Structure 1
Amino acid sequence: MTHGEIVKVAGPLVVAKALTNPQMYELVRVGDAKLFGEIIELRGEMASIQVYEETSGVGPGEPVIQTGSLLTVELGPGLITSIYDGIQRPLDAIRAQYGDFIPRGVALPALPRDRKWHFVPCVKVDDVVVEGDIIGSVQETRAVLHQIMVPKGLAGRIASIAENDFTVEEPVAVLRTESGEEQSMTMIQRWPVRNGRPYTRRMAPDAPLVTGQRIIDSLFPVAKGGTACVPGPFGSGKTVIQHQLAKWANADIIVYVGCGERGNEMTDVLQEFPQLKDPRTGEVLMNRTVLIANTSNMPVAAREASVFTGITIAEYFRDMGYSVALMADSTSRWAEAMREISGRLEEMPGEEGYPAYLASRVAAFYERAGRSLSLGSQPREGSLSVIGAVSPPGGDFSEPVVQATLRAVRVFWALDSRLAYARHFPAIDWLQSYSLYSNLLERFYDKELGERWSQDIREARALLQKEAELQELVRLVGVDALSVADRLVLESAKSIREDFLQQGAFTEGDSYTSLRKQLRMLDVIMLWSHLAGKAASGGVPLGAVLAMPVRIEIARSKSIPEANLAAFDTLENSIGKGFEALSEMDTTAREEYHE
């Protein structure tokens, strides 16, 4: 290892001299405390280093030790159920050894070195393997089968392999290359976090990431391998939405990155996930989850590392053929850390003080999402979906971080504080939000649910848009000035908003809704809307239509169990019979009702 010398300390930024052939993003140990740092600028003989730990007490003259390697993560059995900080230090192991506070400079391996895993080979001696091929597996948890892959740059014939119990550092197989050299393969790989893992080719996103959240799955869907942005002001429900997606999305692996958020929010995750029953596997949700925690009281420089650490781990599981969902909460805190470091580097500021490269950094993160075929002689299809929360000051969506994110993602779930204060959750504004995957996913929905799904969605969108136009008129002249048809539009849109889009995250039976139940819920709302229009045009009093008892049953349909969707058939019959009774009202009764 080579050494340099500190000449300047400015918060998390340290400037050093006399480094030997330094390289960008090289990992270094700073000061007598050996703090973790990364070279982010080279200017003449000076190297600027962002330090991922508190720099108090560090001063000029102290050494800087070069490691010669980039910031990397360890990949292998032991990732699932773990909680790491932004540079993949295992927080549970640190707590067990050092207590509740992280000592500066502590370096524990990310994967446990003493634990043995039962390795089951799937290839045999003399088989030819190449980079990315699976040579065996480990049952990491009851929910996750961890595939052991040939690491980067290796190819040849299997010289020896056996089923046994191994630690991650013990050789599980020996590979003989074309040159005759023998290479030992272990269950651990290392990968630089800023470099995306390679794949054979990227594929079109043609299947939805089903979340069970009605407004998302129906109006603004996200595809497997897609990207989504959740911007909103404080208290509008960004974290709750991400928790819901982590709990219910049809992904095999969840990677949850808490980037600069409050510690109590990560505490909620740590308390809920080990207890929440996973609807996919029947196990606890933590058995297929990796947590990256870089809370607001941790050093700001580590926020940038945390999102890249998380997405590198997610890519690793994607390469196994899994569907992975990554939640980043919140990328605004990451951007604020970039702004602080950029200011200390004395770089030319861009809009609102953010660095000029803000948009390219954000895009580099989201571009690593996708649906792809892995490397190897038998490529596996995997997907990585990325959902990032953004916290613009005052809910201003014209803010630079939101705009940079919108240029990189294809789904925009705009949270509205007015909806949140009105207790309408999820507080996603159906007029501002959009999804560019809707058209791509129509074929999937038509195949799985029939064409009625797309028809219902189009009608629901039209009613909500028409309602917004009529609300302007209502503010001017009042609802009584509207025609009967327009008043029915308002009532139908209200039913869509309150009986379908509004959903209780903490209400059993309503927290998750399958696609088929969503279709049936929309069916009954649209059926009532169509029959109400016919009845009103046939002379049935509007008051009688609006006072129908079956409307209460429609509102309660969200509580119908998933195992009893036949109840919607009964509800549709009730709606039909209710309108038949109204149409049979004699003329005298109608006149009395009008009076």
Structure 2
Amino acid sequence: MNQGRVVKVSGPLVIAEGMQDANMFDVVRVSEQGLIGEIIEMRGDKASIQVYEETAGLGPGTPVVSTHAPLSVELGPGMIENMYDGIQRPLEKMVERAGPNISRGIQVPALDREKKWTFVPTVSVGDTVEPGDVIGTVQETVVVELKIMVPVGVKGVVSEIKSGDFTVEETVCVVKLEDGTEKELSMMQKWPVRVSRPYKEKLVPDMPLVTGQRVIDTMFPIAKGGVAAVPGPFGSGKTVVQHQLAKWADAEIVVYIGCGERGNEMTDVLREFPELQDPKTGESLMKRTILIANTSDMPVAAREASIYTGITIAEYFRDMGYSVALMADSTSRWAEALREMSGRLEEMPGEEGYPAYLGSRLAQFYERAGRVISLGSNGREGALSAIGAVSPPGGDTSEPVSQATLRIVKAFWGLDSELAYKRHFPAINWLTSYSLYVDRLNQWFDKNVNKNWSAHRADAMKLLQEEAELQEIVQLVGVDALSFADRLKLEVSRTIREDYLHQNAFHEVDTYSSLNKQFLLLKLIMQFYHKSAEAIENGADFNKIVELPVRERIGRFKYVEEKDIDDAYASIEEEMLSCLADLTAKEVE
């Protein structure tokens, strides 16, 4: 086996010579302790290695051995409910073996080698299989059924298929390949993290990822298989938004990557997720969740790998035909890791010290999302939606990571610290946020929810934009200088902001709003606006209109339980139309 030796150590970057037989992105073992590293640059026989563990104590002459294999993840039963570090080492198993302070060089397999899983075959001897075909299933949790797929590069006829309890390494199927050789298949396969998993076809993103959050679903929707960025300063609610999406989004599998976040914040996630009740099944949310924890005090190189580890695992479940939601919190910390490694490699820095390839690396990550037809003779439809939090210093979204992300993502939910300080949550600013999926998804909403969905949404957005213009006039000359029509716009805009866009994540009813309920609430608000505008034109008293008790009932409609919304809507609508008609009639008299 080719063995090199260290000539330079610079933090997590180690340079070794005598590595002429190694390749880019090979995983290496550094020193007798076997620290895990990855080759990120080759110059002659010298390799630059980013080490995923603490490098204190390493010095020139330390041996380095290449494994001649790229950084890969193990895919198979046992991943759901697990908590991994950035390079897919199970945290609980490491604690069992080494205690709370993880020792260097510890090697723990990602999937349990001793646990047995019940394999139920779905093919028979003599069946022809190709990459992506399902040969059997494993009930991994009460919620998730894992599909065991034929790995890429294997095509032939099933010569043997087993049934029963097996470990992830035991053979469950034997395939006779086209060249006559036999290939033994286990329930586990490996995949290099920097290579996206193949699929048959990428589909147009024309279905929404329903989240139950009104400001997202109505104003700035994301498509299934779409990508969104949640930029915001410290304390503006990025993590709560991602928790809400993890809990309520229309996805069967959740992959949550805590990339370079504070240790106490990751601890909260690790403690909260097992206790959160999954509204769809009544089980713990962890029954369909995989957590990847890489805190800010862990070696910076592993932070860079954690994003790829997470999205490769997400692609594996997408290939089974599941809808997967991937949360990356936060890509800014990942970009900082890129910047640090780039600086140590002495590469030419780009804007604000970030490497020139920052944009292309971000694009490589986000482009792996999508709604696809998977490999296999009966290609399944799966979706991988990626939502990345961005933490710009001081909330300044003109910095390079935010700008590079904006060029790639199609939904931008800009969090605003001013809204957060006013206790308006989710603090998504409706004037700076946008979604490029709106036009395509409006067709879906109009067809599947109500034909007036897009019209009401456009009306509401127009009112909010007009409110911003009117507020500037109010600050100059006061509200009394406005016409009654403009003052009505301000009143209704306030209702949209406070009663529609504001949503309480901790209220048992308001935490989730169905699409039908969202539409009915918006319809009530817009109906009130249009009917009131007509009444004012016909001489009704503006002050009496804004003081109508029915306005409070409209505002409280969001707290009505789903089973009662139709009755409540009919009752409020009837009262509103009756009151406005009475006011108009009195003026006519």
How does the TM-score come out when normalised to structure 2?
0.98
CA distance in 2, matches of 1:260, 1:557: 40
| 1:146-201 C-alpha deviation (Å, 9 max, x unpaired) | 00000111111111112211110000011111222111100000000000000011
Asked if the contact 1:7–1:61 (Cα under 8 Å) also holds between the matched residues in 2, the reply is yes
Partner of 1:115: 115
Query: Any conservation in 1 of the 2:20–2:46 contact (CA below 8 Å)?
Result: no
Distance 2:484 2:320 in 1: 58
Letter in 1 for 2:259: C
Give 2:488's aligned amino acid: L
Unmatched segments (≥5 aa) in structure 1: 589-595
Which residue matches 2:582?
581
Residue 273 of structure 1 aligns to a residue in which SS?
Answer: helix
CA displacement, residues 539-587 of structure 1 (integer Å, 9 cap, x when unaligned): 1111101111111111111101112112111111121122123224367
1:56 corresponds to = 56
- Asked if the contact 1:411–1:436 (Cα under 8 Å) also holds between the matched residues in 2, the reply is yes
Q: Distance in 2 between matches of 1:207 and 1:586?
A: 48
The correspondence of residues 144-223 of structure 1 with structure 2, limited to 5 A, is: 144-223=144-223
* Displacement of 1:92: 1.0
Aligned length: 588
1:301 alignment partner in structure 2: 301
Residue matched to 1:133:
133
SS state of the match for residue 409, structure 1? Answer: coil
Cα distance in 2 for partners of 1:270, 1:259 equals: 13
| Residues 540 and 587, structure 2, Cα contact 8 Å, conserved in 1 | no
Q: Is the 8 A contact 1:262 1:296 kept in 2?
A: yes
Amino acid at match of 2:240: V
Within-5 A mapping of 1:403-422: 403-422=403-422
1:139 shift after superposition: 0.4
Q: Mean Cα displacement is larger for which, 285-294 or 91-100?
A: 91-100
For residues 48 and 124 of structure 2, the distance between their equivalents in structure 1, rounded to whole angstroms, comes to: 49
1:452-483 per-residue CA deviation (whole Å, 9 max, x = no partner) reads 11111010011001101111111111111000
1-structure distance, mates of 2:182, 2:33: 39
Q: CA RMSD in A?
A: 1.1
SS in 2 for 1:64: strand
In the alignment, is the contact (CA less than 8 A) between 1:143 and 1:287 conserved in 2? Answer: yes
* Secondary structure of the structure 2 residue equivalent to 1:242: helix
8 Å contact from structure 2 (residues 20, 45) kept in 1: no
1:474 aligned counterpart, secondary structure: helix
Structure 2 residue aligned with 1:506: 506
Q: Single out whichever of 20-29 and 254-263 deviates more from structure 2.
A: 20-29
Q: Return the alpha-carbon distance in structure 1 between the equivalents of residues 28 and 178 of structure 2.
A: 36
* Superimposed CA distance per residue, residues 98-124 of structure 1 (whole angstroms, 9 cap, x where no aligned partner): 211211110100001111111001110
- For structure 2, the residue ranges without an aligned partner over 5 or more in a row are none
User: Which amino acid counterpart does residue 581 of structure 2 have in structure 1?
Assistant: E
Q: Which residue of 2 aligns with 1:92?
A: 92
Q: Deviations over 1:345-386 (max 9, x none)?
A: 111000000000000000000010011111111111101000
- Do the aligned partners of 1:4 and 1:19 also contact (CA within 8 Å) in 2? yes
- Do the aligned partners of 1:86 and 1:292 also contact (CA within 8 Å) in 2? yes
Worse-superposed segment, 263-272 or 338-347: 263-272
- Give the conservation status (yes or no) of the 8 Å contact 1:3–1:20: no
TM-score (ref. length: structure 1): 0.98
Please state whether the residue corresponding to 1:274 is helix, strand or coil: helix
Q: Distance in 1 between matches of 2:99 and 2:456?
A: 56
SS of residue in 1 equivalent to 2:489: helix
- Supply the distance in 2 between the matched residues of 1:451 and 1:392 (Cα, whole angstroms): 39
Counterpart Cα distance in 1 of 2:504 and 2:330: 23
Pairing 1:195-594 to 2, within 5 Å after superposition: 195-566=195-566, 567-585=568-586
Please give the per-residue CA displacement for 1:252-302, whole angstroms capped at 9, x wherever unaligned. 100000000012222222222212221222221100000000011111111
* In structure 1, distance between residues paired with 2:277 and 2:399: 38
Deviates more, 1:448-457 or 1:269-278: 269-278
Question: Within 2, Cα distance between the matches of 1:280 and 1:443?
Answer: 26
Say whether the 8 Å CA contact 2:39–2:49 is kept in structure 1.
Answer: yes
Instruction: Decide which moves more: 480-489 or 276-285.
Output: 276-285
Displacement of 1:2: 2.2
Letter in 1 for 2:513: T
Q: Distance in 2 between matches of 1:531 and 1:495?
A: 15
Q: Percent identity?
A: 61
Name 1:593's counterpart in structure 2: none
CA distance in structure 2 between the aligned counterparts of 1:215 and 1:509, rounded to whole angstroms: 16
Q: Deviations over 1:495-544 (max 9, x none)?
A: 00000000111121111111111001101111111111111111111110
- Counterpart CA distance in 2 for 1:167 and 1:50 is 33
Distance (whole Å) between structure 2 residues aligned to residue 248 and residue 282 of structure 1: 12
Please give the alpha-carbon distance, in whole angstroms, between the structure 2 residues aligned to 1:147 and 1:20: 41
Q: Rate the CA distance shift 1:340–1:586 in 2: closer, same or farther, 3 A.
A: closer
Deviation at 1:14, TM superposition (A): 0.4
Contact 1:251 1:325 in 2 (8 A): yes
Q: After the TM superposition, which of the residue ranges 441-450 and 206-215 deviates more from structure 2?
A: 441-450
1:569 corresponds to which letter in structure 2? A
Residue aligning to 1:592:
none
